[in-house]
Structure 1
């Protein structure tokens, strides 16, 4: 062996190419960093420290003057408080972790203010897709009111979001089975709303994530979005009949919903959108768009003091505590649907 003397020497052309490649990668890294920094700067709203990479849903609890966030791997609910100065609200505090759902993930949640309770959706940790449940807990004491299993034996499901009507009935979406579970105010199962109309387009890409965000409209129906297909449905919870809202503009990748008024709907997602209807949601138009920190993935919407806030599912950071963002959304008006 002749050691290092036999190593092939790089020619001047190869060295030049290597320097050029290094320069390109360095520029790309700087551009990527600048883009991320810009997107982070567009968030506004609330930033806070919390455990875990993912927080699926956050809702404003007006009575408690706090945000309540579901913790994906913690499987419970955390509160976020603060004066909001500079957008920093300190660290989350876990207020509820139900031992009977340990090892599951907490996803959608709804503050049912008239009954002073919080509804929390539970599902299996992917890649398992079987367990599905809804829990209800008293605001303040966090005493459990009920925990109801939703899945049938051997069924593949992914319970996702929840809404409550004026009587306290709850509705939970199954994003895998494209159906809606209905429960009584006491948590008793009342049936399932399932209809072939929920699947408007065939193929795995159009149905990777099915029914997702759901809200109850004061006129007595549900509005539900299909994430992959981008369709919005108007559902009669009493009869199970439904129609497809004729939406001008795209709602693809739409996630959590928040009804701002009888005629205005916020749709969290990539990007988040403002949707309006003048005919009781027979038709609608996308009238605004909010991008914000899109790399964090908008996943739910809520209203605080008249402003829309978008929770972002992905946290960032190298330590145990990650930085999470609930951004104040300023929707850019759209001259035409897109």
Structure 2
């Protein structure tokens, strides 16, 4: 199992925890410890051979690796949480969605160099224009980033240099006017290589296909399961989408370029920990769990998901 500790480095970089080892089991898990309860999103960095994990309330990003160094949270977003993260490998950077988790008054997207960890830009997305929660982030082939707003039912588009380009809105993003259906709205997001976004609405249970150029939004007709309580997304292939949430993981497949989709596999893991994000490592699916366990230093788990029909 993995064990780690936290230390600090220069301002303007990322918060990092270090993990010393990981033991492969029949069902592979990476267990690591930290001082925080909640870890929202984990992504596999293939080139760096590490997991990168957003620390939520602590407002930084952790790395699950063998070396023993670490960096401090970015002081420019002090008091805010780090939520969704994604790697923009062609440009060698990490994108981090920041949110005011308690008041919903601030949202931002930060970009950091993967090698130096220095900030490249920090773009404010919201502030004073109604409740918002910058949640997850995806990036296209040109380096444009797309950030979901889980409270405001919109998608922000940010250019490669950090410029806020547009905000994508649609009546379909608010499937019901009831408060219950919109506790958590737009959440997980991925960019499909065919040029569109796939986005899940957590409490609405819907999957959307969004054209980022025309801003046309369509509901993907899904059979076999609702996407209710769906959270993080990852493409296993152009025709296979993995959805983290409750149950822990589901695989949906599409044969018509994501106009329709069907459930083809499910995985039931540690339901009490709540699977919140998904990443692909060496062709295998790994789920990050939101909640840690234990007293003092919390134990967190990233688990390989084995799917059954």
**1:124 corresponds to which residue?**
100
Query: Contact conserved, 2:289 with 2:302, CA < 8 A, in 1?
Result: yes
Higher helix share: 1
What's the Cα RMSD here?
Answer: 1.6
* Partner residue of 2:214 out of 233, 239, 247: 239
Q: Distance in 2 between matches of 1:161 and 1:143?
A: 21
**1:194 corresponds to which residue?**
169
Q: Distance in 2 between matches of 1:323 and 1:43?
A: 17
Where do 5+ consecutive residues of structure 1 fail to align?
1-40, 83-90, 334-338
Query: Contact conserved, 1:43 with 1:325, CA < 8 A, in 2?
Result: no
1:271-286 matched pairs, under 5 angstroms: 271=247, 272-286=249-263
Tell whether 2:46 aligns with 1:62: yes
Q: Distance in 2 between matches of 1:214 and 1:62?
A: 20
Tell whether 2:279 aligns with 1:302: yes
Offset, 1:44: 3.5
CA distances 1:49-100 after superposition (whole Å, capped 9, x unpaired): 1220001000000111000000112201111024xxxxxxxx9964451011
**After alignment, is 95-104 or 203-212 more displaced?**
95-104
1:213-224 matched pairs, under 5 angstroms: 213-224=188-199
CA distances 1:110-137 after superposition (whole Å, capped 9, x unpaired): 01111110000000132x1110000000
Q: Distance in 1 between matches of 2:150 and 2:58?
A: 21
Write out the 4+ residue segments of structure 1 that deviate beyond 4 Å after TM superposition: 91-94
Offset, 1:42: 9.5
Q: Distance in 2 between matches of 1:93 and 1:132?
A: 28
| TM-score of the aligned structures, taking structure 1 as reference length | 0.81
Q: Distance in 2 between matches of 1:203 and 1:92?
A: 48
Offset, 1:155: 2.2
Q: Distance in 2 between matches of 1:189 and 1:301?
A: 27
Where do 5+ consecutive residues of structure 2 fail to align?
1-24
Cα distance change on mapping 1:322 and 1:94 into 2, 3 Å:
farther
1:243-322 matched pairs, under 5 angstroms: 243-248=218-223, 249-271=225-247, 272-319=249-296, 321-322=297-298
Query: Contact conserved, 2:111 with 2:120, CA < 8 A, in 1?
Result: yes
